Amino acid sequence: VPKVTQEHRDARRQQILDGARRVFSRYGYDSATVVRLEEEIGLSRGAIFHYYPSKREIFAAIAIEDSRRYIDLLVDRGLDEAVRAMAGESREWLGVVLETQARLRHDEEFQRRMAEESAGDQQRVIDWFDAGRRDGTLRDDVSALDLGRFATMMINGLALRVAGGDETDIDSLLRLVRDAVSPRA
Amino acid sequence: VPKVTQEHRDARRQQILDGARRVFSRYGYDSATVVRLEEEIGLSRGAIFHYYPSKREIFAAIAIEDSRRYIDLLVDRGLDEAVRAMAGESREWLGVVLETQARLRHDEEFQRRMAEESAGDQQRVIDWFDAGRRDGTLRDDVSALDLGRFATMMINGLALRVAGGDETDIDSLLRLVRDAVSPRA
Amino acid sequence: VPKVTQEHRDARRQQILDGARRVFSRYGYDSATVVRLEEEIGLSRGAIFHYYPSKREIFAAIAIEDSRRYIDLLVDRGLDEAVRAMAGESREWLGVVLETQARLRHDEEFQRRMAEESAGDQQRVIDWFDAGRRDGTLRDDVSALDLGRFATMMINGLALRVAGGDETDIDSLLRLVRDAVSPRA
Amino acid sequence: VPKVTQEHRDARRQQILDGARRVFSRYGYDSATVVRLEEEIGLSRGAIFHYYPSKREIFAAIAIEDSRRYIDLLVDRGLDEAVRAMAGESREWLGVVLETQARLRHDEEFQRRMAEESAGDQQRVIDWFDAGRRDGTLRDDVSALDLGRFATMMINGLALRVAGGDETDIDSLLRLVRDAVSPRA
DNA sequence: ACTGGCGGGACTGCCCGTTAAT
DNA sequence: ATTAACGGGCAGTCCCGCCAGT
């Protein structure tokens, strides 16, 4: 009769996600073996698979959590702040962003999973860009959809840089990005 | 089929690289098993490992070949044309670009290998941007190095999009990129 | 079958060693494939490699176990009894003695492993011969070290014979050995 | 139209056997890969397999050659000289003696091959010991067969020592052996 | 709730011998 | 006679997930 609280369960799930995030980021999905997950998380195989049915599901949960966090950042604080925040972010998070892209490319099942889960999130991004176009802070000769695509490309490209360990002059970068999306003189 | 001409050997090596590129791009490095390589290349294990000592070396050879091709494109035809060409490029190539980034992040040995191999290539990119700044086609309030970084980020971000199968309005994208790197009015 | 007693684990380890000994002895180290180990031991790859990290380590464990047993025999019961016991021994044990010699010759890593492990055992043999020389049961015009070497050569040679399946008249052999090591008239 | 002499062919066969002996002795039968044979012999795969149908046959040829040489030594020069010569012999030869014993134990096909080939040789050894018994240089209370067995055991044991790289005081050893086989006072 | 023993599939790379070509 | 490309089998071992046991 174990009888544990919901809080305990939630804490365990978060413990698993946090440990797993570090491992996925450090080694990549395939080299993130279950043994490494056990070590980093501090729980046994059995416990981990008690909360999540498979390694893939653990990764999906992390991917969704982090993707949502990135969109919140953009919508709440704006592109400028979002880029700046990301550049200063932990390499763990960025590593997961990129690993997610890799899974999306190669794992159809995972692709479906994420499409379902993040449909609403995509819309929030487009809405945000649309609002910017209407209030004059963003150029309106390019569609909100294309602006969104551009922003995502930037972010992904940036993640690739930072996660790869390369130096980046964030101010120069922001100047270029701002000039790309601002209304033309 | 021994005592064969150098042409034959070169053709075989290219056959291996071309088949392997498709497999790496389609499945990712780890899921590109040797069985899949055999099937796609059309040669047996024995033949493949006769020409390359390991799967890793095959991948490295492809990565170097493709990286060089991407830089040639930029230097010879300009950023605009390069982006346009890439967007229309085969998903195989883009897949390898991204898979290369992933290996760079997780595989230190591979990282060293590539650093040695591509030292000169990096310089060519910076030189090209420097020339653009001096003849007034690129803005000069941002260093050539930072312009190069921005371009690489864009390219990588684009690769991520295209390889992921997403639609992209290339003209809108180019307008944004051009406005980012052009001299301010 | 987890959370199991220490007895269970010890029994499993012994089960692995006993099965493996038969296979190593029957086929030799290289031809003792993991499949054959699985069959003879009656456990899966997963189970076997759960207890020992590699085939080499399994062999080392057996070699150490058997080497110790042979020395105990000599020290406790004397050369005469030891030879007699060995000649009547299972071919498994003798096979391992010889396979150990082979590994020692070709596998430097294994050589180091065994040297560390059996340093003390070598001394026990020399001490035993030294005691024999002093109490007059062994000749004293040859050093204890050389007597020990002779005995080991005998034993190994005998192992080679018995393991090879050849008949041996053990009484004749013992007469020769006794006359070799006894004090001269 | 190659047109080579019989001398050329014989030289090639000897070249193969000599190189292969070194490799078999150094690495053991299984780890003596064909690549290593090629390197040490200085001929290509094709050439080697042109003269011998398989690796196994090369080894058998060496084993027979060396076994005959060892018996010649005993019969022509006596036990004392034979032991002394062996102890000073190249480790290559001794290595092959032991590797032969290993093959005999594990490879039935090889066992048959050698039995056929060396039937006459065994008889020569027994005859030699029988002669020694009759002319009084060897004890006659032990059969020639058992004396032969003892000698072979000693030789094999010695080979094991020397090939293993251990030091041996050959004079002490000879004293022990001589006292074992000489007529009792 | 949590542990860890265990099964069995799959991976890369090595190895021997054949054979087309010179 | 000699080369080396090539096929394909097989080796060790790692890895995920299941489930018996506490």
Q: Which residues of chain A have pLDDT under 50?
A: 1
Measured CA to CA, the distance from residue C56 to residue B103 in angstroms comes to 32
Whether A108 contacts chain B with CB within 8 A: no
Strand F contact nucleotides, protein CB < 7 Å: 1-22
Q: How many CB pairs under 8 A join A and B?
A: 123
B175:A141 CB<8 A:
yes
**C-alpha to C-alpha distances, D16 to D5, D12, D41, nearest whole angstrom:** 17, 6, 6
Per-residue pLDDT tens over the stretch D110-152: 988 888 888 888 888 889 999 999 999 999 999 998 888 888 8
What single DSSP character describes residue D183? P
3-state secondary structure of D185: coil
B156:A154 CB<8 A:
no
Q: Which of B59, B86, B146, B153 to mutate to test the interface with A (most CBs of A within 10 A)?
A: B153
Q: Which two tokens stand for residue D10?
A: 């014989």
Q: What residues of chain A, 121 to 150, have a C-beta less than 8 Å from chain B?
A: 141-143, 146-147, 149-150
Chain A residues within an 8 Å CB radius of B141: 175
Q: Of C158-162, C165-169, D96-100, which has the strongest mean pLDDT?
A: D96-100
Chain B residues within an 8 Å CB radius of A146: 169, 172-173, 176
Chain C residues within an 8 Å CB radius of D173: 146, 149-150, 153
What is the per-residue pLDDT for B158? 82
> Which protein residue lies nearest to nucleotide E2, measured between its Cα and the C1' atom?
A47
What is the per-residue pLDDT for A115? 85
At residue D56, what is the residue type? R
A96 within 8 A of A24, measured Cβ to Cβ: yes
Q: What residues of chain C, 23 to 42, have a C-beta less than 8 Å from chain D?
A: 26-31
Q: Which of A55, A99, A150 to mutate to test the interface with B (most CBs of B within 10 A)?
A: A150
Which residue, B106, B77, C181, is CA-closest to A102?
B106
C157:D156 CB<8 A:
yes
Per-residue pLDDT tens over the stretch B114-143: 888 888 888 888 899 999 999 999 999 998
The percentage of chain D sitting over the pLDDT mark of 90, rounded to a whole number, equals 42
**Mean pLDDT calculated for residue range C127-136:** 93
Q: Which two tokens stand for residue A169?
A: 């002059």
Per-residue pLDDT tens over the stretch A31-52: 999 999 999 999 999 999 999 9
What is the per-residue pLDDT for C60? 96
**C-alpha to C-alpha distances, B47 to B25, C185, D43, nearest whole angstrom:** 22, 72, 21
Query: pTM for the whole thing?
Result: 0.90
Whether B156 contacts chain A with CB within 8 A: yes
Q: What is the 3-state secondary structure (H, E, C) of chain C?
A: CCCCCHHHHHHHHHHHHHHHHHHHHHHCCCCCCHHHHHHHHCCCHHHHHHHCCCHHHHHHHHHHHHHHHHHHHHHHHHHHHHHHHHHHCCHHHHHHHHHHHHHHHHCHHHHHHHHHHHHHHHHHHHHHHHHHHHCCCCCCCCCHHHHHHHHHHHHHHHHHHHHCCCCCCHHHHHHHHHHHHCCCC
Q: Which two tokens stand for residue A26?
A: 């450090």
Which residue, C123, C146, C125, C122, is CA-closest to C78?
C125
Q: Which two tokens stand for residue A89?
A: 């972010």
Per-residue pLDDT tens over the stretch C98-127: 899 899 989 998 988 888 888 888 888 889
What is the per-residue pLDDT for D86? 80
C149:D104 CB<8 A:
no
